[in-house]
Amino acid sequence: MPARSCRWLWLLALTVLLGTGCATAPLQYPELEPPKDGEARQVVLSDTPFYPQTAYQCGPAALATVLQTSGVAQATPDRLAEQIYLPGRRGSLQTELVAATRRAGRVPYVLEPRMEHLFRELRAGNPVLVLQNLKLPRWPQWHYAVVIGFDTHNKNIFLRSGKEQRQTLSWHRFERTWQMGDYWALVVTPPGETPATATAPRYLQAVVPLEQQERWHPAAKGYRTAAKRWPDNPASYLGLGNIAFQTEDYIEAAAQFRQAVKVAPQLPAAHYNLAWALLHLGEIEQARRASAEAQALAPEHPRFGQAVKTLEAAASDL
């Protein structure tokens, strides 16, 4: 057998061995439903900014792309590199990208790992930052890119990637690289907007750290946006009440906690927080009733179960 043929067989055998050790789940794109009436069959967000990516700088470039799209004009790859680029890793971690997004006063919403959600965000005009593995699971080459569109007829995906302003990949090729990045995808929105695919739990999970970091303005705006979209979810009112309480606006805090009680009367945290806001307003009897309700709802809870005693101790110090 000619040497050239032997070499081809050896490479084929190596490929099979590598593939056997790295079996993956079925791809999602073959199961995608065709566009519904009125849905775009092709989307290209051509106004999305483009920053050619130098070596190992795909994280800052991709994040600058989506931040600028969301209205953060000062977001540039060079500025972001100071925040998120890790020289020891020659790259950026997802946690760093998420943290930098919050520092910019934006909401970092991590999508559910579903191809259809990617398409829905693009149809809504939201470019999507994705993590890809451009090589193999055993020897990964991690890469961030920004998806800016798709074509359902030719089954292509369009990206801002590397030095390519409009990279075109087949659905198969793109999803395979995205799948090896665990389908991680990020949409960045101003606090006054929600992503097209947002659910209350995932969106609020993205907003809560803004409150924890005392970024009161974007956090409050995010909570108000969530309350408007999901008015029956008490977490938004609890968040708004917490911010008002921390900034010593006890009238607003009590109003928000009352709204939380209204939509979720069985939630002990709503009654407990209301009790403290009322206490600071000098409405002692109402505060006692609220603390007693919290304790009755969760008598075994380490905090709510001691609500009455804790509040009485605080009231005696006033």
CATH no. for residue 147? Answer: 3.90.70.10
Instruction: Look at strands 156-161 and 164-170 and give their pairing.
Output: antiparallel
Q: Render each residue's pLDDT in the chain as its tens digit; 318 residues.
A: 333 333 323 333 333 333 433 446 899 999 999 999 889 999 999 999 999 876 667 888 999 999 999 999 899 888 888 777 665 555 577 888 999 999 999 999 999 999 999 999 999 999 999 999 998 878 888 899 999 999 999 999 999 999 999 999 999 999 999 999 999 999 999 999 999 999 999 999 999 999 999 999 999 999 999 999 999 999 999 999 999 999 999 999 999 999 999 999 999 999 999 999 999 999 999 999 999 999 999 999 999 999 999 999 999 877
Amino acid letter, 228: K
The domain boundary, picked from 164, 189, 214, lies at 189
**Hey, is 88 helix, strand or coil?**
coil
3-state secondary structure of 200: helix
Residue 25 is predicted with a pLDDT of 80
Within a domain: 43: yes
Is residue 143 within 8 Å of residue 58, measured between CB atoms? yes
> pTM here?
0.86
Domain boundary among 156, 189, 222: 189
Domains contained in the chain, number: 2
**Which residue from 168, 171, 187 is spatially nearest to 179, judged by alpha carbons?**
171
Torsion of Cα atoms, 111 then 116 then 120 then 122, to 10°? 80
Q: How many CB atoms lie within 10 A of CB 4?
A: 7
Within-domain flag for 19: no
Residue 7 in any domain: the answer is no
Q: Give the domain extent around 172.
A: 37-189
- Do 183 and 205 share a domain, yes or no? no
Regarding whether 234 and 163 lie in a shared domain, the answer is no
Q: What is the pLDDT of residue 55?
A: 61
- Among 141, 160, 189, identify where a domain stops: 189
Q: Please indicate, yes or no, whether residues 77 and 174 belong to a single structural domain of this protein.
A: yes
Is there a domain that residue 16 lies in? no
Q: Is residue 104 located within the same domain as residue 231?
A: no
* Contact (CB, 8 A) for 52 and 61: yes
Same domain, 250 and 108: no
